[in-house]
């Protein structure tokens, strides 16, 4: 996965067992998605006629994350449908151990009408150029 961002773990992210609370993983994956998509937007989401929204997310927990772990979120788009995108993400520590994986289906939605809208050719081309394949 080409795209990655470092994540700072906060004190309140840790549960009573001393590891990252399960609900926080999804927040970290969201941070990775936001950083990934922002590289294809000028001016942010508020200036886009349509935006991707999460329709489904599946998260697999492979190993615990502790407060002192240095982690990053890695993100890649693996497929684009008519109005949907599929992302794969990982949370990885500094040693390269994959701590968690997620697969997310997002639907491109018109910001004014809240209805699905086709993924634009411009986005397909930009994502394809970044990922090194055609969509």
- In this predicted model, what pLDDT tens digit does every residue of 27-58 receive, in sequence order? 999 999 999 998 877 766 666 678 899 999 99
**Ramachandran region of residue 117, left (φ > 0), alpha (ψ -120 to 50) or beta?**
beta
| DSSP strands (E only) in 81-120 | 84-93, 98-110
pLDDT of residue 89: 98
Q: Tell me, what's the pLDDT at 47?
A: 63
pLDDT at res. 50: 85
Q: Name 133's Cβ contacts closer than 8 Å, sequence gap at least 6.
A: none
8-state DSSP, 18: S
63 vs 100: CA distance, rounded Å: 7
Query: Does the pLDDT of residue 70 top 70, yes or no?
Result: yes
Using alpha carbons, list the distances in angstroms from residue 127 to 83, 98, 101, 102: 14, 24, 21, 19
Which pLDDT tens digit goes with each residue over 101-110? 999 999 999 9
Supply the pTM of this predicted model: 0.92
CATH number for the domain spanning 94: value is 3.10.129.10
Number of domains in the chain: 1
Which range marks the domain in which residue 17 is found? Answer: 3-131
Cβ neighbours for 93, distance < 8 A, ≥ 6 positions apart: 65, 69, 70, 71, 99
Please answer whether residues 103 and 54 qualify as being in contact, where contact means their C-beta atoms are separated by less than 8 angstroms: no
């Amino acid at each position: 996965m080409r795209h990655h961002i470092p994540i700072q773990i906060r004190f309140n992210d840790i549960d009573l067992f001393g590891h990252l609370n399960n609900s926080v993983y999804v927040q970290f994956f969201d941070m990775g998605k936001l950083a990934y998509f922002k590289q294809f937007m000028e001016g942010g989401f508020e200036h886009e006629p349509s935006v991707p929204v999460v329709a489904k997310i599946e998260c697999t927990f492979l190993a615990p994350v502790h407060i002192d772990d240095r982690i990053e979120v890695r993100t890649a788009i693996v497929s684009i449908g008519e109005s949907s995108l599929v992302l794969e993400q990982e949370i990885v520590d500094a040693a390269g151990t994959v701590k968690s994986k997620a697969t997310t289906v997002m639907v491109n939605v018109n910001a004014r009408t809240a209805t699905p809208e086709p993924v634009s050719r411009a986005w397909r081309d930009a994502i394809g150029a970044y990922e090194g394949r055609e969509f």
